[in-house]
């Protein structure tokens, strides 16, 4: 599904990601861990198209996307969330969801004049789709409330819902457990598992090793911008280099 080949990223004289390679298979849930400053978010930004790599290649389902813009990658089925969700605070949840729908005819002035019935039908279909996702995520009762009323964990769920509106085939999930209470964390884990059962692939940045162990079949470990180790969660937590570079720092 996703292949990163010898990717590096320089900012001025600093090499933040150095010759990193990884592969995530179709239908997998893979984890990406490492201490703060390891380059995890930068690597996500490179994969998602927010940054262009200084060198190396990125492939999605065998197609090179190294130089494609982020919106082009989204159309190919690559969605991502952010560590700190930023919904449109004064818009309702349903409005936030509808804003993420792709290729809406109503965005065209001519379509609104020439095919108003098709535009209206599409808008109804998108609204039904958005409500179905909100129901699945446990947010339907808040659909008409402004997003500012949501807790941190609920914002994570809304962020996931907005990505689902784009019909992704792979989701880059950035720290879904950060700042989330245990009850909502269980909900997020359950929803990720259910979405994965639908055939959607995940690559997850996470510090919570319990969440990683519950979700991920394979884990990549970054340290100082380099790939330090990869293996199953049980192999990762037993590896001396990982313990020294990451787990031994006191992170969980």
pLDDT in tens, 82-104: 988 999 999 999 999 999 887 66
Whole-angstrom CA distances from 111 to 71, 106, 119, 205 are: 22, 6, 7, 40
CB 30 within 8 A of CB 203: yes
- pLDDT per residue over 27-84, tens digit each? 999 999 998 889 999 999 999 999 999 999 999 999 999 999 999 999 999 999 998 8
Tell how strand 55-60 and strand 170-174 pair up: unpaired
Q: What is the pLDDT of residues 146-158, one digit of tens each?
A: 999 999 999 999 9
What is the fold, at CATH topology level, of the domain defined by 2-87+167-249?
Answer: Rossmann fold (3.40.50)
Contact 84, 103 (CB under 8 A): no
User: What are the boundaries of each domain within the chain?
Assistant: 2-87+167-249, 88-149
Among 74, 5, 28, 9, smallest CA distance to 225 is for 9
Distances (CA, A) of 22 to 2, 170, 227, 244: 8, 15, 9, 22
pLDDT in tens, 15-42: 999 999 999 999 999 999 998 889 999 9
Q: Please give the pLDDT value at position 107.
A: 58
Residue 180 is predicted with a pLDDT of 87
Predicted TM-score (pTM) of this structure = 0.89
User: Cα–Cα distance between 48 and 3 in angstroms, integer?
Assistant: 12
Residues with Cβ within 8 Å of 192's Cβ and at least 6 positions away in sequence, in order, are 29, 160, 173, 176, 202, 204, 215
Q: What is the pLDDT of residues 193-245, one digit of tens each?
A: 999 999 999 999 998 888 999 999 999 999 999 999 999 999 998 999 888 87
The secondary structure of residue 78, as a DSSP letter, is E
Q: Above 80 in pLDDT, residue 122?
A: no
Buried b or exposed e, range 148-159, using 16+ CB within 10 angstroms:
eebeebbbbbbb
Q: Check residue 250 and give its pLDDT.
A: 43
Q: At 105, is the pLDDT very low, low, confident or very high (cuts 50, 70, 90)?
A: low
What pLDDT, on the 0 to 100 scale, is given for residue 246? 62
Count the neighbouring beta carbons within 10 Å of the beta carbon of residue 190: 12
pLDDT, position 244 = 85
Q: In Å, how far are 68, 81, 204, 240 from 213, measured between CA atoms?
A: 33, 20, 12, 18
Query: Do 191 and 6 form a contact (C-beta atoms < 8 A)?
Result: no
């Amino acid at each position: 599904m996703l292949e990163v080949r010898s990717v590096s990223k320089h900012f001025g004289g600093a090499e933040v990601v150095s010759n990193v390679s990884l592969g995530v298979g179709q239908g997998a849930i893979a984890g990406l861990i490492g201490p703060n400053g390891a380059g995890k978010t930068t690597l996500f930004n490179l994969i998602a198209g927010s940054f262009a790599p200084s060198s190396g290649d990125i492939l999605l389902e065998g197609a090179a996307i190294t130089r494609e813009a982020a919106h082009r990658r989204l159309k190919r089925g690559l969605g991502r969330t952010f560590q700190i969700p930023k919904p449109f605070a004064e818009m309702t949840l349903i409005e936030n969801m509808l804003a993420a729908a792709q290729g809406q005819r109503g965005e065209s002035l001519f379509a609104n004049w020439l095919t108003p019935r098709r535009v209206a039908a599409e808008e109804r279909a998108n609204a039904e789709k958005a409500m179905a996702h909100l129901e699945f995520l446990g947010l339907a009762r808040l659909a008409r409330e402004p997003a500012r009323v949501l807790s941190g964990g609920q914002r994570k769920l809304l962020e996931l819902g907005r990505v689902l509106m784009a019909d992704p085939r792979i989701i880059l999930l950035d720290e879904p457990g950060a700042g989330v209470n245990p009850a909502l964390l269980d909900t997020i884990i359950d929803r990720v598992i259910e979405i994965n059962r639908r055939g959607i692939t995940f690559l997850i940045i996470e510090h919570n090793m319990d969440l990683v162990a519950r979700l991920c079949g394979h884990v990549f470990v970054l340290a100082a911008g380099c790939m330090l180790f990869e293996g199953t969660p049980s192999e990762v937590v037993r590896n001396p280099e990982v313990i020294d570079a990451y787990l031994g720092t006191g992170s969980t």
